[in-house]
Amino acid sequence: MHLLLFAGFLGSGKTTLVIPLSKAVVQSGYRVAIIVNEIGEIGIDNQLMRQLDLNVWELVAGCICCTLSGDLVTTLQNVDSDYVPDLVIVEASGAANPQSVLRALPYYRGRSLTSVRIVSVVDPLRLAMLMEVLTPLVTSQIQHADVIVITKTDLAKPEEVEFAHRTSRELNLNARIVSTGVRGHLEPTLISELLPWLN
Amino acid sequence: MNKEASYQERLALIQKAINLEPVDRIPIAILGPAFAPRYMGMPLSEFCEDAEAALQVTLEATKRLDADAINSLVIGRFPVILTLIWLSHIRVPGRELAPDALWQVDEAEVMTPEDYDFIVEHGWQAFLNQHLPKVIDPAYLGESLAFMGANASRGVPLFRENGYVVIATGAVTIPFEPMCGARSMSKFFFDLYRMPDRVQAAMDRALPEIIAGGIGLAKAGGAMGTWVGGWRAASAMLAPKLWNRFVWPYYLKIVEALVAENITPVLHFDQDWTRDLVRLQELPAKKCILNLDGMTDIRKFKQLVGDRMAVMGDVPASLFASGTPDAMRNYVRDLVRDVGPTGLILSSGCDMPVNAKPENVEAFMAASREYGKTA
């Protein structure tokens, strides 16, 4: 089973990527499960995903912190046994540090994870502000990424996109950095970057 | 040993931990509002609705595990407490959720930027009076508060009669936390960037009332301590410049005010505070307990602050929910070795999660007893 974890602050465009990506994977004949963890506006994105016939599980926040990683592992195991997906996409909450999520994975007891990849979604329209306010969180989200997706390139100014690209590279020397607009379909090259195992 | 003797022995152990004195064995505390009913077979809907039943099931869970203490005792409907902390609507099992589902914090932007000015002009309580009806039914809140008021002082003697210590009753936190909940996380963090002076003015105006309220709640509950909560203000979230301005000065004032009233601050700091652990050196020595959830580097705490502050924790929720008894034993063993024996209260990090496996909880208790012996 492959695991793809999407990290990025609230409103950065995670769901906008997850939906077409999931549909592309389904159309390729694979089973996809989506685990969503939201702090605010619970259920809105999930409703949208379900309307599009995507299989969604929710992580619910009893508190907003400590129980989340335990819930992820339990939910992952339940998804694995109940649905047997080829790919699980985890859309983490905007306040989630990927490291915290990864720390819980050793407790996972389902089928082995063929790959675990972190996708950091970076919003060029707000990155400068986020770096000023949430420096450690945003830094961690970028540093631990395997792929960094700079979104909303069709809305951002060129200098904002350039800042996002430069900042991402400074924080993460090894991740692939790709860009996408907020509208339009997902480019096949982007899908390949996120899911290199997909035919 | 009779119950009162047990209570006195346990109280002494906890006090020695706070005082950083040697102990014969390391005390053990439990926490987990949702764990207790699940462990004892009570639906969460009943736990949330019936505050008396919630109190009794929490006591029964403590007795079954035979811990020395409970970290924090809530008297009242727990989801209401969460609303009062984060000023957010809470979805409750049996009301908006299935009867045995966990409650959910339903955060939304309810507070507006104009409310910062309102707080400056009219004060914190006046703001709460107008805000709370937007996130909780006033009649339900009124009923819940009435129960809390009438029963606040019952918990500590009830647990004492049964031989157990209550470490903390009540909770207080810095203005950052409720404002973050009320504005919604993303809006609030952008407020810190766009209108910092406006936010700070509101925080400064609110703090004295918040402190007075926290002291009142702590005294009403009657435990040795009270929670001083930290969640979204964690170092791992916020830039140092903003943390130094909007977070730490407020904690300092709250702790100093509580200590002046002989109330032990239980710094319930969830998430990762490692970067700023050194600031805890500014707090009064041997007066506080730091309560960590497994995400802060507890060994670094011991190195930097262990000579002036006790620590409670820090077994992570994920270990209770998804680990094994052997992994639990190893975690407790290593914790005692590296952080104990003085100044340590063994506990779950934050809540024992609702899906904690009973065998892991029991392994935690057994390992704590085994590895916690020093004599």
Distance of CA B127 to the CA centre of its chain: 24
Per-residue pLDDT of B242-284, as tens digits, reads: 999 999 999 999 999 999 999 999 999 999 999 999 999 999 9
At B355 the pLDDT is: 87
| Strand arrangement, sheet containing B310-315 | B29-30, B69-73, B165-173, B225-230, B264-269, B289-292, B310-315, B344-348
Say whether B270 and A65 touch across the interface (CB within 8 A): yes
User: Among the listed ranges B103-107, B165-169, B191-195, which one has the minimum average pLDDT value?
Assistant: B103-107
At A38 the pLDDT is: 63
Positions of E strands within B28-164: 29-30, 69-73, 89-91, 104-106
At A99 the pLDDT is: 80
| Alpha carbons A56 and B64: distance in angstroms, whole number | 38
At B165 the pLDDT is: 98
How far away is chain A from the Cα of B340, in angstroms, using its nearest Cα?
Answer: 23
Which pLDDT band, with edges at 50, 70 and 90, does A185 fall under? low
Residue that has been written with the tokens 């951002």 in this structure: A156
Residue that has been written with the tokens 């990762």 in this structure: B272
At A60 the pLDDT is: 58
At B247 the pLDDT is: 98
Count of H-run helices and E-run strands, chain B: 18, 10
Of A62, A63, A136, the CB nearest to B237: A136
At A63 the pLDDT is: 47
Say whether A95 and B293 touch across the interface (CB within 8 A): no
Of A39, A66, A135, the CB nearest to B105: A39
Number of Cβ within 10 Å of residue A71's Cβ equals: 25
B15 or B96: whose pLDDT is higher?
Answer: B15
Q: How many domains does chain B have?
A: 1
At A41 the pLDDT is: 47
Per-residue pLDDT of A70-92, as tens digits, reads: 578 888 888 898 889 999 999 88
Say whether B186 and A10 touch across the interface (CB within 8 A): yes
- Mean pLDDT on A35-39: 73
Which residues of A, range 25-84, sit inside 8 Å of B by Cβ?
Answer: 39-42, 60-67, 69-71, 73-74, 77
| Alpha carbons B54 and B65: distance in angstroms, whole number | 17
Contacts of A145 by beta carbon, 8 Å cutoff, 6+ apart: A7, A98, A118, A119, A120, A172, A175
Question: Is the model's pLDDT at A109 over the cut of 60?
Answer: yes
A76 or B66: whose pLDDT is higher?
Answer: B66
Q: Please tell me if residue A128 touches chain B, with a CB cutoff of 8 Å.
A: no
Does the model's pTM come out above 0.90? yes
Which pLDDT band, with edges at 50, 70 and 90, does A172 fall under? very high
* Secondary structure (DSSP) of B333-349: HHHHHHH-STTEEEEES
User: Among the listed ranges A26-40, B217-231, B287-301, which one has the minimum average pLDDT value?
Assistant: A26-40
| Alpha carbons B38 and A64: distance in angstroms, whole number | 20
SS3 content of chain B, % helix, strand, coil (to 5): 55, 15, 30
Say whether B231 and A134 touch across the interface (CB within 8 A): no
B318 or B113: whose pLDDT is higher?
Answer: B113
Question: Is the model's pLDDT at A16 over the cut of 90?
Answer: no
At A50 the pLDDT is: 67
| Alpha carbons A108 and B88: distance in angstroms, whole number | 32
SS3 content of chain A, % helix, strand, coil (to 5): 45, 20, 40
Domains of chain A as residue ranges with CATH: 2-194 (3.40.50.300)
CATH number at residue B118: 3.20.20.210
- Mean pLDDT on B301-330: 95
| Alpha carbons B173 and B205: distance in angstroms, whole number | 14
Residue ranges making up the domain that contains B59: 3-371
Query: Count of A–B CB contacts within 8 Å?
Result: 133
Q: At B229, list the tokens.
A: 């909560």
Per-residue pLDDT of B15-37, as tens digits, reads: 999 999 999 999 999 987 889 99
Interface test with A, best of B186, B242, B324, B359 (most A CBs within 10 A): B186
At A42 the pLDDT is: 44
User: Among the listed ranges A16-25, B130-139, B149-158, which one has the minimum average pLDDT value?
Assistant: A16-25
At A61 the pLDDT is: 53
Residues of chain B contacting residue A71, judged by C-beta atoms under 8 Å apart: 321, 353, 355
Say whether B102 and A135 touch across the interface (CB within 8 A): no
Per-residue pLDDT of B323-351, as tens digits, reads: 999 999 999 999 999 999 999 999 998 88
Q: At A80, list the tokens.
A: 């694995």
Residues of chain A contacting residue B101, judged by C-beta atoms under 8 Å apart: 60
B186 or B299: whose pLDDT is higher?
Answer: B299
Adjacent-strand bridge partners of B29? B69
Interface test with B, best of A38, A101, A133 (most B CBs within 10 A): A133
